[in-house]
Amino acid sequence: MGTSKRLADHYDMRSQHQAILTAARSGPLQSLTDRELALREQPITIYPQPYRPVRAWVRFGPEAIHVDAKLARSTPTAAGIEFRAGDTTFRCWVWGNAVSADDDVHRV
């Protein structure tokens, strides 16, 4: 007997949400600083909804985790992303090379 792809996606999402919430106990979500973003020197693009689905590396305190996220804004070197876990929406800036386009992300 096979399993449903939709059900498998649901369990993957729940597992990722649990991993995010566990990582969040390690420390605060880290984001690039204003100095690193250099928004006065670099153009910023703000994307209208729907946001593009991406996979991104984020860091809670010392713990890094790979998450399904939405690209909300970008500069030539950084990406502003958001992702959810449970009832919490997390937002942060990460370096552009920490993000990859994922056309197969349906769970964000």
Q: For residue 1, is pLDDT > 70?
A: no
Structure tokens at 90: 């997390």
DSSP 2: -
Q: What is the pLDDT of residue 90?
A: 96
Query: Does the pLDDT of residue 6 top 80, yes or no?
Result: no
* Per-residue confidence (pLDDT) for residue 52, from 0 to 100: 87
Interatomic CA distance for residues 35 and 75, integer angstroms: 13
Distance CA 11, CA 82 (A): 20
Residue from 29, 22, 7 nearest 106 by CA:
7
What are 21-76's pLDDT values in tens digits? 888 888 999 999 999 999 999 999 999 876 889 999 999 999 999 999 999 999 99
Residue 38 per-residue DSSP state: -
